Amino acid sequence: MRAHTSETQATITPAKALNFLKEGNARFVNNLRINRDLLQQANETREGQWPFATIVSCIDSRTSAELVFDQGFGDIFSVRIAGNVVNTDIVGSLEFACKIAGSKLIVVLAHTACGAIKGACDHVELGSLTELLSKIQPAVYEEKETSDPKSRNSKNSRFVENVATLNARRSVRSIVNRSIILEQLIENGQAAIIGGKHDLESGQVTFFEDTWVFDRSTIDTVVRGKT
């Protein structure tokens, strides 16, 4: 299978990009990965790259986006940071990926049993990690299902998973809210964004379809909360 070119990238819509990822994850889950000549793809992309999607995921060693979505060299941008949080550098990287390099889709990918989420749930403070975990705290406070204060910690796996999901959803909204460049690309149908979660046990990625932002209407409803 050959690497993407500027011509093939130009034919991909945001919806098609999402479908490529869903198909790739299905192959991963069923251990039916495409047989790629990675050295050939490396040579084909040595003078340029045309990824169709950009994945914002955690640094966790078990969540490599290329493997989880069965993609090869030049297929996707991979932006990794503990807890898939969003900051200015992340947003700038996404602006480059979509506006300059032509990526059609942004996926904010959470995962189960996330150490960063657990740290935020336990209000861990450790050097510069403290500032990073503070970006997850709004999702901790937003979690309303767990009413018993004694259960609002990393020992409660349901609480942890609820916070991870809320954090990914918040990151989707934050990315659009913080970038007029990305907002305009989405409004014009040139890009889209969605949240999702990777189950470490099964390998399956569940996309949060209600976070699918692809036009002005969904920017208003999903991101801005307008009715």
Q: What's the distance, CA 171 to chain centroid?
A: 9
Q: What pLDDT score was predicted for residue 39? A: 76
6-116+165-223 — its CATH code?
A: 3.40.1050.10
Of the candidates 129, 62, 75, the residue with the CA atom closest to the CA atom of residue 107: 75
Strand partners, 56: 79, 108
Q: What pLDDT score was predicted for residue 213? A: 98
Q: What pLDDT score was predicted for residue 41? A: 75
CB-count burial class (<10 Å; 0-12, 13-18, 19+) for 14: buried
Element (H, E) at 173: helix 157-177
Q: What pLDDT score was predicted for residue 227? A: 67
* Matching residue, tokens 């098609």: 16
For residues 197 and 165, the answer to whether their CB atoms sit within 8 Å is: yes
pLDDT tens digit at each of 227 positions of the chain: 677 788 888 899 999 999 999 999 999 999 998 877 777 777 777 777 889 999 999 999 999 999 999 998 889 999 999 999 999 999 999 999 999 999 999 999 999 999 999 999 999 999 999 999 999 999 999 999 999 999 999 999 999 999 999 999 999 999 999 999 999 999 999 999 999 999 999 999 999 999 999 999 999 999 999 86
Question: In this structure, what token pair is assigned to residue 38?
Answer: 């990675």
Element (H, E) at 119: helix 115-121
Of the candidates 82, 78, 83, 132, the residue with the CA atom closest to the CA atom of residue 106: 78
Q: CA–CA separation, 141 vs 144, rounded Å?
A: 8
Please give the C-alpha separations between residue 69 and each of 19, 46, 66, 156, in angstroms, as whole numbers. Answer: 11, 22, 6, 29
Q: What pLDDT score was predicted for residue 48? A: 75
Domain ranges for the chain, please list them. Answer: 6-116+165-223
Say if strands 192-198 and 205-213 run parallel, antiparallel, or are unpaired: antiparallel
Q: What pLDDT score was predicted for residue 132? A: 97
